[in-house]
Chain A
Amino acid sequence: MTDPEGAGTVIHETPLASRHEALGARMIDFAGWRMPVQYSSILEEHRCVRERAGLFDLSHMGELLVEGPDAGDALARALVTNPPALTVGRAHYSMICAPDGGILDDLIVYRLAADRFMVVANASNAQIVSDALAERLDGSRALLDDQSLATGLVAIQGPRSVEVLTPHTDVDLASLRYYGIADGQVAGIPAHVARTGYTGEDGFEVFVDTGRTGELWDTLLEAVRGVEGGPVGLGARDTLRLEAGMPLYGNELDTTTTPYDAGLGRVVKLDKGVDFVGRAALERAAADGPKRRLVGLTVEGRGIARHGYPVHSGDRRTGVVTSGTQSPTLGVPIAMAYVAPSDAEPGTMVDIEVRDTRVPARVVPLPFYRRSS
């Protein structure tokens, strides 16, 4: 017998796997990594991040360093954004597209130094992005150094993140703005500290050497416990990002989707004066306008919309749900869906096919949740 699922599959463990198990986490295989989906309860962990502070192990994500005199220009040819426009210590949201304009992954690009960038990719696409960058950088004075397995990443997210992290770092957090990154120490460990996240809250992502991730986690876990916070798994990470209206690769984004479909056309810098992979296709997509649009939905009947459920406008199928859950913060079912542009205006009523019944839902602006401060 062959094992189609398991054949040749290596399951990676983050340096924190044994700690997650000791904390009683339920572990799942996610994008080739054994990861904690929840420690106590997804709802509790979600509230912990919205109200106090939560700690995430994100060591599965890909960290790709691009270095050399042409690093910025080479990235500008490889990605849809214009990394040379970043000042040192700043970051932006980006995407890497195929020649046909389809999204290979969504990314954060950090400028660590004049000739040094860090590209952070989703775990599920880290190898694809690494391979594509290696190919696209070939021939330029820029070297790709895939540091994914050598890097640990721990995020602290929530309104009390500054208060929790401040005693443990020499980085001036007050002057570190949203989408900024600084070098320093956290818990005595050399680190990149970035004010980024995927929850809709204030917070930080701390990149360290994989061998010291355990020490970092232990210090920060004790610190978040001090404000009645705790560890947070992938389950709450998903509900948090969905409330914040942030796309998830594999749900809202994939190779058949352009940034314009996803309402992320502003990310694409067609005017950067550089020929980049996917440019011709994306120029056409921008000129033609999207054939479908990503919208927020709140369910007004009884039922929870889930990934893959059809969306109807009267007798016409208008689209499909990409992500859906019961919103822990709003207390109602929320979803993101692709629908026809004619059905995308906020206030439009559509029906979601939930098993054998049709449940009414209203198109609403994204995000579902925005922090007050």
Chain B
Amino acid sequence: MSAPTDLRYTRDHEWVRVDGGEATVGITQYAADQLGDIVFVELPDEGRDLEEAKAFGVVESVKAVSDLFAPLTGTVTSTNDALAANPELVNSDPYGDGWMIKIRLSDTSEMDDLLDGPAYDDLVAAG
């Protein structure tokens, strides 16, 4: 399955949707499938400053614990509270209701480091 072409991706399997100076962040369908049934998502508080490529939270499946990495530097403006009660949204709708955080970006030029959809598909295909 191809990654949506309107998003950008990290090599750690996060996706980013940029709208003006704000970015919405989640994990890809591939990442969610690899983790399996997601049962817990730990997200940062609003207002926290994130640094590109640093861990900002944790996603846990029945079996495994996996860090979430900030795709871009910025400040958390909101988090998806629905994931506390319904973490399975990350499996069922990773690019929609399973979103995780929104960030106000500090440096939009960091966008250049992210992958587009076809490049991300190549990354996944390469294993």
Contact = CB atoms under 8 A, between A and B. Distances in A.
Interface of A: 37-38, 41-43, 235, 238-239, 302-304, 306, 325-326, 328, 333, 355
A239 B62 contact: yes
A37 B40 CA distance: 20
A328 B62 contact: yes
A38 B36 contact: yes
Contact of B42 (A37, A239, A303, A306): A303
A302 B84 CA distance: 9
A42 B36 contact: yes
B39 A355 contact: no
Given A235-B62, A239-B62, A326-B62, A41 B39 contact: no
B63 A235 contact: yes
A42 B62 contact: yes
Given A302-B42, A303-B42, A304-B60, A41 B65 contact: no
Contacts of A325: 62-63
Given A37-B63, A328-B62, A42 B37 contact: yes
The 10 closest A-B pairs by CB, nearest first: A326-B39, A42-B62, A43-B37, A41-B37, A304-B40, A304-B60, A235-B63, A42-B37, A325-B62, A42-B36
Contacts of B84: 302
> What is the interface of chain B mostly: helix, strand, loop, or mixed?
strand
A41 B36 contact: yes
Given A326-B39, A326-B40, 16 more contacts: A41-B36, A41-B37, A42-B63, A43-B37, A235-B62, A235-B63, A238-B63, A302-B84, A303-B40, A304-B60, A304-B65, A325-B62, A326-B62, A328-B62, A333-B40, A355-B42
B93 to A, nearest CB: 16
A31 B30 CA distance: 27
Contacts of A326: 39-40, 60, 62
Given A38-B36, A41-B36, A42-B37, A306 B65 contact: yes
A239 B36 CA distance: 14
A38 B60 CA distance: 16
A355 B36 contact: no
Contacts of B36: 38, 41-42, 235
Nearest to B84: A302
Nearest to B37: A43
Interface in B1-47: 36-37, 39-40, 42
B58 interface: yes
Nearest to A42: B62
Nearest to B65: A306
Contacts of B58: 355
Contacts of A42: 36-37, 61-63
A123 B88 CA distance: 33
Nearest to B40: A304
A15 to B, nearest CB: 25
A67 to B, nearest CB: 40
Most buried by A among B39, B42, B58, B60: B39
Contacts of A328: 62
A37 B39 CA distance: 17
Nearest to B55: A355
A326 B37 CA distance: 10
Contacts of A37: 63
A239 B37 CA distance: 13
Contacts of B60: 304, 326
B38 to A, nearest CB: 10
Contacts of A306: 65
20 contacts: A41-B37, A42-B36, A43-B37, A235-B36, A235-B62, A235-B63, A238-B63, A302-B40, A302-B42, A303-B40, A303-B42, A304-B39, A304-B40, A304-B60, A325-B62, A325-B63, A326-B40, A326-B60, A328-B62, A355-B42
Contacts of B39: 304, 326
